[in-house]
């Protein structure tokens, strides 16, 4: 249950997501042999005609917004996504060379090169059409008895990433004992981004459902159905997915770990779905026999699912499974299917005018399925020991400030402070890349089989995850590849993770002074650290167990302070008349605020014995450079369609409020820019929010 850092979770925390949706830039892009340099404080990105005391975000980012229109292959464009795009171009250069079968390559380089070459072979994909799905489609068509469903679903789950086939099943840490991995059964089965798309009764929601149903029908036609059959199939799919959506927890409820922690034994799991044979399913998955412990994240969902298993006809089940198989694999098939998939999910849903060029999609897939092998190539050229040490030093300084903050809290009792210190001092800092690289030796890649490579990659990862069940937690493992432009905190591992990809300019900039670096990268470090003590992370103890270590009074004091932040962000508009769902974004909003407060304190401690007058640059004092450096990490713009999706699904607030909403609570900002009472970026002292 990692907590993502600064980019919206569904957009791009990984390179794969950064390349998932869609117009080719007007100037064709080319591979890069080196990462470009952009300073972490860019004065050309500013708009100095704006008073920062009225709108810091526009002051810091106005020039960037003017000079960086959203490319046609993007739904959102910002400093992070632009940086991720440059990383893609750099990795493209690596993979383009490795795709030469005559080149001298080691085993992993050959896998990556052949995978990329197969993906880039558009003619072969078009010639193959739906042929790569033929064996699995035949298995679906052969479903003649519901008793065969568990074995069939196991095969589909192994070969297709995600939880699109009725439910999800995998491995995760036991919430009550973070040292061990247990099986998790999770809700799923829907194709739209959130349950609310099926349940909302607004004109926009109804229109989108009609568009989605038309897309489903179109996909069935492309797969060989006539128009009448396709329309009937779409009706069936919509009915099944709507029933599953109605039984699914809301995203806000899913943020409460107690609402998603329901341990049962094998009999308890079977009792939830008496019409589904879990023993047969486990056997087909290849999970070790004798599995006794499960976490069912949504028991009510599985009870509703059982009703579906009991009442659906075999024909309807086959129709639903065909849809999920075709849709899940559409990006890896012929151009007609790829385009249809993009037309709805990329353009209609997220507003991107055009599909990303093929090279971006192919680089992203290599990153997704061979990411640590690709990471070794990235790290070798872009991450040295000096950068790792500088990041570690900054992290340790910010952690020291967190310790001081805990010590100074007047509202927290000594008993809770003791537990908070234990948790703080137990946090593991992972920087750059894992100590042990992933072994891909069992993953078979065929140079002429693009879709087959994707499915074998899914099986490889599915089996790798399932093999963890019943074993001790591998604490050295990472959940992001080294080249990813992001970071995360994991409350069960109690670790913060900073991939090499986020420790590059314009985020961390070794060429610039400390002020913008502490505002930017320091703010990120503080953000991830604060996640350990936000409304969700605070519920896990120093060992990563779901355990209440707060006194009742201290918990109430925390909730009162957190409510201040929630109430503030609930007033902000995302798009149209849609306001931020501040119960969904609370964890990220708390992390943004706490992170910058800690980063500022750490920066001040770091420069305590330095003379700063000589560091005044570009007409900005060091304090102003700190806040502008912070603001410029999230210069971004997004299309309205994308914003509507994110308002429902993203636990992060829009960029403007992640900047202005934070500094409006910091008297240090007001002092830095000599703001006056009555200006928009000035709060009365008694109205300011602060937790940590």
Per-position DSSP letters for 476-498, written without gaps between them: T--SS-TT-S--EEETTTTEEEE
State whether residue 100 is helix, strand or coil.
Answer: coil
Q: What is the pLDDT, as a whole number, of residue 18?
A: 35
Domain carrying residue 322: 131-332
Inside any domain, residue 177: yes
Q: Are 78 and 655 in contact, with CB atoms under 8 Å apart?
A: yes
Inside any domain, residue 216: yes
CATH classification of the domain holding 251: 1.10.1380.10
Residue 523 tokens read as 């703010």
Q: Are 198 and 190 in contact, with CB atoms under 8 Å apart?
A: yes
pLDDT at 565 over 70: yes
Q: Please provide the size of the chain in residues.
A: 692
Inside any domain, residue 16: no
Inside any domain, residue 201: yes
How does pLDDT run across 344-382, given as a tens digit for each residue? 999 999 999 999 999 999 999 999 999 999 999 999 999
Q: What is the pLDDT, as a whole number, of residue 617?
A: 87
The pLDDT-based confidence of 55 (bands split at 50, 70, 90) is very high
How does pLDDT run across 458-490, given as a tens digit for each residue? 999 999 999 999 999 999 999 999 999 999 999
The pLDDT-based confidence of 612 (bands split at 50, 70, 90) is low
Q: What is the pLDDT, as a whole number, of residue 5?
A: 52
Rounded to an integer, the average pLDDT of 528-554 is 98
Q: What is the pLDDT, as a whole number, of residue 615?
A: 65
Q: What is the pLDDT, as a whole number, of residue 614?
A: 58
pLDDT at 76 over 50: yes
pLDDT at 21 over 80: no
Q: What is the DSSP letter of 546?
A: B
- Using CA atoms, how far residue 413 sits from 308, 405, 408, 556, in Å, is 50, 13, 11, 12
Inside any domain, residue 156: yes
Q: What is the pLDDT, as a whole number, of residue 19?
A: 37
Rounded to an integer, the average pLDDT of 160-165 is 92
- Cis peptide upstream of residue 75 (ω within 30 degrees of 0): no
Q: What is the DSSP letter of 344?
A: I
193-207, 239-253, 612-626, range with the lowest pLDDT: 612-626
Residue 396 tokens read as 């340790």
Q: What is the pLDDT, as a whole number, of residue 650?
A: 97
Q: What is the pLDDT, as a whole number, of residue 613?
A: 55
Contacts of 3 (CB under 8 A, 6+ apart): 488, 489, 490, 491, 528, 531, 534, 536, 537, 587, 588, 591
pLDDT at 114 over 70: yes
Q: How many domains does the chain have?
A: 1
pLDDT at 17 over 70: no
How does pLDDT run across 641-650, given as a tens digit for each residue? 999 999 999 9
Q: What is the pLDDT, as a whole number, of residue 7?
A: 44
398 vs 401: CA distance, rounded Å: 5
Which range, 12-16, 20-24, 55-59, 161-165, is most confident? 55-59
How does pLDDT run across 649-669, given as a tens digit for each residue? 999 999 999 999 999 999 999
Inside any domain, residue 484: no
Contacts of 154 (CB under 8 A, 6+ apart): 281, 284, 285
Which percentage of the chain shows pLDDT scores above 70? 96
pLDDT at 98 over 90: yes
45 or 615: which carries more pLDDT confidence?
Answer: 45
Q: What is the pLDDT, as a whole number, of residue 22?
A: 35
76-78 vs 636-638, strand pairing mode: antiparallel
Note the Cα 465 to chain centre separation in Å. Answer: 18
Total-model pTM: 0.94
Q: Give residue for tokens 């000096």.
A: 386
Q: Give residue for tokens 């007058």.
A: 613
pLDDT at 560 over 60: yes
Following DSSP, what letter does each residue of 149-207 receive, concatenated?
HHHHHHHHHHHS-SS-SSEEEEEEEETTEEEEEEEEEEE----SSSTHHHH--SHHHHH
- Which element (helix H / strand E) includes 3? strand 3-4
pLDDT at 685 over 50: yes
pLDDT at 62 over 70: yes
343 vs 355: CA distance, rounded Å: 8
pLDDT at 24 over 90: no
Inside any domain, residue 601: no
501 vs 18: CA distance, rounded Å: 13
Phi and psi of 457, rounded to 5°? -65, -40
Q: Are 355 and 339 in contact, with CB atoms under 8 Å apart?
A: yes
Residue 45 tokens read as 């990105």
393 vs 134: CA distance, rounded Å: 54
In the beta sheet, which residues pair with residue 187? 167
How does pLDDT run across 128-142, given as a tens digit for each residue? 999 999 999 999 999
Rounded to an integer, the average pLDDT of 139-154 is 98
Q: What is the mean pLDDT of the chain?
A: 95
Inside any domain, residue 407: no
Q: Are 167 and 305 in contact, with CB atoms under 8 Å apart?
A: yes
**CA dihedral (402, 408, 409, 413) positive or negative:** positive
Q: What is the pLDDT, as a whole number, of residue 250?
A: 97
How does pLDDT run across 222-263, given as a tens digit for each residue? 999 999 999 999 999 999 999 999 999 999 999 999 999 999
Residue 321 tokens read as 């499974």
- CA-nearest of 119, 156, 505 to 322 is 156
State whether residue 689 is helix, strand or coil.
Answer: coil
């Amino acid at each position: 249950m990692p907590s993502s850092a600064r980019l919206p979770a569904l957009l791009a925390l990984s390179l794969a997501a950064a390349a998932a949706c869609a117009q080719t830039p007007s100037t064709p892009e080319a591979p890069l042999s080196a990462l470009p340099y952009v300073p972490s404080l860019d004065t050309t990105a500013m708009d100095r005609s704006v008073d920062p005391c009225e709108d810091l975000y526009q002051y810091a980012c106005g020039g960037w917004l003017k000079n960086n229109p959203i490319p046609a292959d993007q739904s959102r464009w910002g400093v992070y996504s632009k940086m991720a795009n440059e990383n893609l171009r750099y990795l493209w250069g690596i993979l383009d060379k490795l795709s030469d079968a005559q080149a001298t390559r080691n085993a992993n380089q050959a896998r990556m090169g052949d995978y990329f070459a197969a993906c880039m072979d558009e003619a072969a994909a078009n010639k193959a059409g739906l042929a790569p799905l033929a064996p699995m489609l035949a298995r679906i068509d052969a479903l003649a008895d519901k008793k065969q469903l568990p074995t069939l679903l196991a095969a589909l789950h192994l070969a297709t990433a995600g939880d699109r086939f009725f439910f999800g099943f995998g491995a995760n840490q036991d919430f009550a004992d973070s040292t061990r991995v247990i099986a998790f059964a999770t809700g799923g089965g829907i194709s739209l981004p959130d349950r609310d798309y099926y349940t909302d009764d607004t004109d926009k929601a109804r229109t989108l459902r009609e568009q989605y149903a038309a897309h489903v029908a179109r996909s069935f036609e492309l797969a060989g159905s006539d128009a009448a059959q396709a329309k009937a199939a779409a009706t069936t799919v919509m009915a099944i997915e709507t029933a599953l959506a109605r039984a699914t927890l809301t995203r806000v409820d899913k943020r409460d770990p107690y609402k998603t922690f329901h341990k049962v034994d094998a009999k308890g799991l079977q009792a939830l779905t008496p019409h589904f044979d879990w023993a047969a399913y486990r056997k087909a998955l290849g999970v070790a026999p004798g599995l006794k412990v499960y976490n069912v994240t949504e028991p009510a969902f599985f009870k509703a699912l059982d009703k579906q298993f009991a009442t659906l006809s075999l024909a309807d089940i086959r129709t639903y499974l065909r849809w999920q198989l075709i849709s899940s694999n559409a990006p890896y098939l012929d151009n007609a299917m790829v385009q249809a998939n993009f037309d709805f999910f990329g353009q209609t849903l997220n507003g991107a005018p055009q599909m990303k060029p093929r090279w971006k999609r192919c680089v992203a897939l290599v990153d997704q399925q061979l990411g640590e092998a690709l990471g070794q190539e990235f790290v070798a050229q872009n991450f040295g020991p000096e950068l790792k040490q500088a990041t570690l030093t900054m992290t340790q300084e910010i952690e020291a400030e967190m310790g001081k903050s805990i010590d100074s809290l007047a509202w927290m009792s000594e008993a809770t402070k003791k537990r908070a210190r234990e948790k703080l001092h137990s946090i593991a800092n992972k920087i750059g890349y894992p100590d042990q690289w992933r072994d891909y030796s069992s993953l078979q890649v065929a140079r002429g089989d693009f879709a087959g490579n994707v499915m074998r990659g899914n099986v490889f990862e599915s089996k790798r995850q399932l093999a963890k069940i019943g074993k001790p937690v591998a604490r050295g493992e990472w959940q992001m590849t080294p080249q990813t432009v992001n970071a995360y905190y994991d409350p069960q591992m109690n670790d913060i993770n900073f991939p090499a990809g986020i420790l590059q300019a314009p985020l961390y900039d070794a060429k610039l002074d400390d002020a913008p670096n502490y505002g930017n990268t320091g703010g990120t470090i503080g953000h991830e650290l604060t996640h350990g003590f936000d409304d969700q992370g605070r519920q896990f103890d120093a060992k990563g167990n779901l355990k209440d270590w707060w006194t009742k009074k201290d918990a109430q004091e925390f909730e009162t302070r957190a409510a201040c932040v929630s109430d503030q962000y609930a007033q902000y508009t995302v798009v149209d008349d849609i306001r931020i769902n501040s119960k969904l974004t609370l964890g990220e909003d708390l992390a943004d605020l706490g992170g910058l407060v800690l980063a500022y304190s750490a920066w001040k401690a770091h420069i305590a014995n330095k003379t700063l007058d000589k560091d005044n640059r570009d007409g900005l004092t060091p304090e102003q450079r700190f806040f502008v450096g912070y603001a410029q990490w999230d210069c971004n713009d997004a299309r309205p369609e994308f914003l509507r999706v994110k308002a429902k699904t993203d636990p992060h607030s829009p960029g403007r409020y992640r900047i202005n909403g934070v500094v409006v609570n910091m008297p240090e900002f007001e002092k830095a820019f000599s703001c006056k009472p009555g200006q928009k970026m000035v709060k009365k002292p008694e109205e300011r929010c602060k937790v940590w």
